[in-house]
Structure 1
Amino acid sequence: MKTWITGGYVYRYEKRRLERKNLCMEDGRITRICSPSEKITDGIIHDVKGNAVVPGFIDIHTHGGCGFDVNAASKEKFQKIGYFFAQQGTTTWLCSILTDTKEQTEKVIAEVLKHKEDHENCADLLGIHLEGPFLSVEFKGAMPESLLRGADIELLREYQEKARGNIRYITVSPEVEGIPESIPEIRKLGITVAIGHSGADYETSRKCIENGAEACTHTCNAMKLFHQHFPAIMGAVLEADDVYCETICDGRHLHPGSVRMILKAKGHDRVVAVTDSIMAAGLPDGAYKLGVNDVIVEDGDAKLPNGVRAGSTLTTGTALKRLIEFTGESMEDVLPLLTMNPARLIHAEEHIGSLEVGKDADILILDENYNILETFVKGMKIEKQEESSCH
C-alpha cells in the first residue's frame, strides 16, 4: 500500500535545503517525490502540517541505551534498545561491542543475528562495530587491559564468519603490533577501519591511512593530542582529506569551539556525529555498566570510578540540537553529519542517508524546534509503547 507524506518540507541533500514536496512510500522504499500541486489518486495520505521531513539518523558508534548494554544484550534487549533509539530519531545503527572475551563477543554476535532476523517497531540494526580488541593499553579508556592484544586477522575472520558478514566497522590503534600491515586484510573482510584509542605518532598514523583506514574514532578523545612538534594521530586525521572524523557533540567530550575547529579542518562532508551512548542514555543519574566496567553517571556525565569518561548519555536527536547550537548553522547544513556522512563511511549510501527515490523510507518528521514528532523505519511508522520508561 502506498503512503503519501504531504504538507511538509522535504530535505534535499544535494541542495542542503528544505523544499515543499510530497513524498510517497511503498514496500519500505521511497517511490516518488513530487510537487504538492500534483494530484494524488491513490494510497494513504499522511499530512505533516508544514513540518520538516528529513532522513532518519544513523548512529555508527553506540553501546546501548534505555537500561541495556550492548555487551550483555539479548535479542529482546536489542529490540528495546532499537525502539528507544527510533524514538530519538535513529533509524539505523551499528551496535558497538566493547573489547570483551572471545566467548562473550561471539555471544553478542549471535544475539545480533537473532534480532536482525526477527524485529519490529524499532530502528534497523544494520550491523556491528567492534571497538577493539586491537587497541593501545596507554589510551584504553574503558577497555579491559587484560583483553587487549596485537593484530589477529584470524580471530577477526572468525568473528566475521560467525557474524555472517555483519561486522561493518572496527576501531584499531595504529601503534599496536601488526595493525598498519593488517588494514588491507581487514578491509578485504568487508570492514571499514577507524583508528583511535591511540598515542600513535604522526608517521604511524599516516601509514594506517595510506593502507586504508577511513575514519577516526571519537576524535580528540582517548588519543594523543596535537602538538606543533608532535602532530600525532590527531594531526594526521585532521590533515587527511579523505578521513572521516567521529565527533561526540554533547558539550562534554568536545568544547563547542573544538566542534567548530574539526568542521573547519575537515569540511561538512567528513565529520560524522556519533553518540557513543551507554545503557544510561534516556535514564536518570546513577550506577550503570559499560561492558565489564562499573560506570557512575552524575549530571548526565558517564565516568568510570577513576574519573575517566566512559561513553555518553547522548541521543542523536539531542546531537542535532547541539550541532545547531554549537555551530550557529542551520539544520539543513548540519544534517549530513547524522545522515549521509555515516552512510558513506560504512558504504551504505546506496540505500540510506538521504531522501531519494529508490532509497529506504527511513524518515523523521521534525517540528520547528527540531523535536522528533514521528519516525518511519523502512516505511513503517514507529508506534509509541506506553510501558517504556525511557525519555
Structure 2
Amino acid sequence: MSAHTSGRRVEGRDPATGQVLRVQLERGTIGAVERRGHSGSDLPWLVPGLVDLQVNGYAGFDVNHETPGAEHIVGITEALRSRGVTTWVPTVITGSQEQVIDRLAAITRARCDPDIAAAIPFAHVEGPFISDQDGARGVHDPAHIRPLDAAEVRRWAAQGPVGYLTVSPHQPDAPDQVARVVADGVAVAIGHTHATPDQISAAVDAGASLSTHLGNGIFATLARHPNPIWTQLADDRLTCGLIGDGHHLPGDTFTAMVRALGPGRAFLVSDSVELAGSPPGRYRTAVGGEVELDPTGRLSYVGTELLAGAAVNLADCVVWALANTPFSLARVIDLAATTPGRVVAELGGTRPGRLRVGGRADLCLLDEQGKVVEVVAGGRVL
C-alpha cells in the first residue's frame, strides 16, 4: 500500500482537470469523491479501472481452451486485475456449436463467484458467422465458419450471458438474421468481413451497433474507396473497437480513426491471447502452430509477417497510445474506460469505467507515462 492509499481512501490527480481527487472507499464501493485545488503535482493520476471488451486469453490462460474450465476464466480475471484491467469480456471464437456452448458454460460457472461476476459482465462470441475468405477470416478455423443463424445464437444464450456477437453481414438474409439476434437481446458487431459497404449499411439499419477491431479482420488490400472501413467510420450508429498494441494498427492510422469516429465512438481493446504476458521467445500453439513473441510484443507466425494475436493487456495499450498518438491521458482513458464502460451498460451490465458515488471501487493510479503503479479492485488494494 502506497502513501496515496489507505484502508478507506485513495488520492490522485484527475487527468481531465488536474484537480486532486480523494476517493473514499466504503464496503467495496465509492462512498464519496472529493475535489480540491491543483497543488498535487507529486501525486499519481487517478483513473477508473480499465475496461477491455475483447480478451481471448492472458498469462497462460485461454477462454477457448480445448477443455474449457472455469479456472481459465478465474486466472485471467486475477491476472488482469493486478494490471489495472478490472472489467473484461471473454471472447469465444469460432468453433462448433458444442464448443461454443462449452466455453460459454465455463464462463457461467466462473461467474457463480460474485467477485468474478463483478469483473465479467457478459461474453463476446467472435464468429462462427464470419467471412470464410483468407485475410478477412483471420486465423479462425474455416471448418466451422457457417451462415449467420439467430436460432443458434438463442441456443448459446441459454448457456450464459452473450453480450455481443461479431458477424460478417455478407449473406442476402443477414439483415433479417441481425434483426432477430438484436431482438433476442444480443448486440451485433461487424468484423472479420468481406461484406460490401451496402451490406454493412443494411446490417446497421437492422440493428448492428458495434465494430470489432476496426482495420483488422479484413483483406490486406482494399479498394481506395468505397470500402468497408470508410463505411464503418462514417456511420454514427457504430461504436468501434481498435486494437492498441502498435502492431495491429500503426499510430497514425489509430489517430486518424479515433479523430474520424469522434468522442464516444471509439474504444481501445487488447484482443489479447493466451501468450500475452509471456516472455519473448518461440512457442507452439493449438491454433497456427509455431509462433514467435519478440521483445516489442509483436506475436507472429514463425517465418511470416502474419500476426498471431495480441500479446499485451489493455494497460499496455494505454501506455502505447500515450507514447504514439497526440491524445491526452484524459482522452486515452475515455477510450480505455469511459466509452467501453458505457457500452457495457448499454448491453445490460452494471456500468464500470467511471468514478461514481455508489459504483464499484475499481481504481488505478498511473505514473506520468500512464503505467499502472497501484490498483484498487472492489475496494481492495492489490
- What TM-score comes out, normalization by structure 1 length? 0.86
In the TM superposition, residue 359 of structure 1 has moved relative to its aligned partner by 1.9
Map 1:188-337 → 2, pairs under 5 A: 188-224=183-219, 227-229=223-225, 231-284=226-279, 285-289=281-285, 292-294=287-289, 296-299=291-294, 300-304=297-301, 307-337=305-335
Q: 2-side partners of 1:64 and 1:298: how far apart? A: 15
Q: 1-side partners of 2:148 and 2:74: how far apart? A: 32
In the TM superposition, residue 58 of structure 1 has moved relative to its aligned partner by 0.6
Gaps of 5+ in 1: 38-48, 383-391
Q: 2-side partners of 1:295 and 1:57: how far apart? A: 31
Q: 1-side partners of 2:88 and 2:284: how far apart? A: 22
- The letter of the residue matching 2:46 is V
Map 1:1-391 → 2, pairs under 5 A: 3-10=7-14, 16-35=16-35, 50-72=43-65, 73-118=68-113, 124-138=119-133, 139-163=136-160, 166-224=161-219, 227-229=223-225, 231-284=226-279, 285-289=281-285, 292-294=287-289, 296-299=291-294, 300-304=297-301, 307-346=305-344, 347=346, 351-382=351-382
Q: Considering only aligned residues, what root-mean-square deviation do their CA atoms show, in Å?
A: 2.5
Q: 2-side partners of 1:159 and 1:359: how far apart? A: 30
Residues 342 and 6 of structure 1: CA distance in aligned 2, closer, same or farther (over 3 Å): closer
Q: 2-side partners of 1:320 and 1:161: how far apart? A: 35
Counterpart for residue 44 of structure 1: none
User: Contact 2:108–2:159 at 8 Å: present in 1 too?
Assistant: no
Q: 2-side partners of 1:119 and 1:80: how far apart? A: 15
Gaps of 5+ in 2: 1-5
**Which deviations, in whole Å up to 9, do the C-alpha atoms of 1:142-169 show, x marking residues without a partner?**
1110101111111110100111xx1111
Residues 298 and 373 of structure 1: CA distance in aligned 2, closer, same or farther (over 3 Å): closer
Residues 288 and 245 of structure 1: CA distance in aligned 2, closer, same or farther (over 3 Å): farther
Q: 1-side partners of 2:316 and 2:144: how far apart? A: 33
Q: 2-side partners of 1:52 and 1:68: how far apart? A: 30
Q: 1-side partners of 2:116 and 2:188: how far apart? A: 31
Paired-residue identity, %: 26
| Secondary structure, aligned partner of 1:24 | strand
Q: 1-side partners of 2:172 and 2:340: how far apart? A: 28
Moved more, 194-203 or 174-183: 174-183
In the TM superposition, residue 302 of structure 1 has moved relative to its aligned partner by 2.4
Q: 2-side partners of 1:258 and 1:196: how far apart? A: 18
Q: 2-side partners of 1:295 and 1:61: how far apart? A: 23
User: Contact 1:98–1:132 at 8 Å: present in 2 too?
Assistant: yes
In the TM superposition, residue 123 of structure 1 has moved relative to its aligned partner by 7.8
| Secondary structure, aligned partner of 2:64 | helix
Q: 1-side partners of 2:95 and 2:192: how far apart? A: 16
